[in-house]
A and B are shown apart, each in its own frame.
Chain A
């Protein structure tokens, strides 16, 4: 196993053990091994002995901030990447939990590996994966290949410039240098230049694959309404079934509700069983919010979310 990741893993275990045995927190939310290669699972640990199952690798892709809603009455320790910590800051602005009751075990993120890209790059079933620095050693029954990690990262991780969770109470490693691998979100830039007809066709065809499992909503830390608009019966905004316009409606509103709240972690896209590229929507909103209101999500715990406030000098040149 990679030396740096091993060191981080040890630090996470050590700190979690300390927090639990000193009764500083009631539970630790972290990652543990899953039965399948390329996957990890969130775990909830309540005893100091249990911390041995905590792990850290390049497949710890879930945004654990999602679980804070279920445990906001407890004192919780959470293992966070840069994006998760920013989601938590955004949630604390929305008063979803008591910031004093939470302990952030921060990990300067090495960028996460896209398991689907890896699976597509090899033929046959993957049985074992090992990380060695910048390389991935992928093994199956009949093959053994070495892949460059850099070519198999999530799009949201390639553009990330907030990998170190600066808000964390404890950092498991030295902060990493902040730079994007790709300058701006590649999909948004290319997409924006296309004519409207083509953009609409793309949106139409991508959303038509949606099966309305709502996995994108469930994994998102910012989607916590007790009554989501899709389940609202009065007024009934959206009907059941897979009518294409209803699917479009769902995806427009799901994305738009993230305006000024999305940390760009990409959890929605990773959760989608139909491979719908959901981040091309939310990344655009993030860019707009930055351009219009100079706001970036989760960088400090004072600035209110942009749509809950205003400036008299806001641009209004689109208004007649």
Chain B
């Protein structure tokens, strides 16, 4: 059982960059682990911290939030706003005792299919090392 465990990772990808990046990875036939479930959001600034918390509470092992590189936001400043929210939320969750690495953030542009694949490998590897989420889990999805 332990050996067969595969993490469930929820990925919030911004419509304009990261989602297109994931799409590029797909059309270019670049492989990446099937552990991520993608939710497309308009912008990384759209991520309400409640989304991340609800995911963790529902037994998701890791959350990945990905948006456009700084300066590339379709809405000009969405990812900057998102960055401030992410920075404070990440620190706060680690402070109360959620493992570092459960919630991850990245910038992936529409042209970075390769980077996206690399990123999913890294994130999956890291969350595999952390093991199944136990803290804050209400019921496993």
Contact = CB atoms under 8 A, between A and B. Distances in A.
Contacts of B138: 243, 245-246
A310 B57 CA distance: 29
Nearest to B106: A320
A198 to B, nearest CB: 8
A255 interface: yes
B92 A285 contact: yes
B123 to A, nearest CB: 8
Interface stretch (A96-104, A138-146, A311-319): A311-319
A192 interface: yes
B35 to A, nearest CB: 16
B90 interface: yes
B83 A249 contact: no
Q: From B53, B57, B80, B96, name the one whose CB has the most chain A CB atoms within 10 angstroms.
A: B96
Interface in A217-254: 229, 237, 243, 245-246, 248-249, 252-253
B96 A252 contact: yes
Interface residues of A, number: 44
B86 interface: yes
A interface, over-half SS: helix
Given A310-B77, A312-B70, A284 B95 contact: yes
Contact of B80 (A237, A245, A289, A314): A314
B135 interface: yes
Interface string B78-116: 001101111111111111111110001111000000000
Contacts of B136: 245, 248-249
A308 B104 CA distance: 22
Contacts of B94: 196
A200 interface: yes
Q: From B53, B87, B119, name the one whose CB has the most chain A CB atoms within 10 angstroms.
A: B87
Contact of A316 (B49, B81, B83, B119): B83
B74 interface: no
Contact of B50 (A253, A260, A306): A253
A307 B105 contact: no
A292 B138 CA distance: 32
B70 A237 contact: no
B83 A288 contact: no
Contact of A312 (B57, B80, B106): B80
Interface of A: 191-192, 196-204, 229, 237, 243, 245-246, 248-249, 252-253, 255-256, 259-260, 281, 284-285, 288-289, 292-293, 306-312, 314-316, 318-320
Interface of B: 49-50, 53-54, 57, 70-71, 77, 80-81, 83-100, 104-107, 119, 122, 135-138
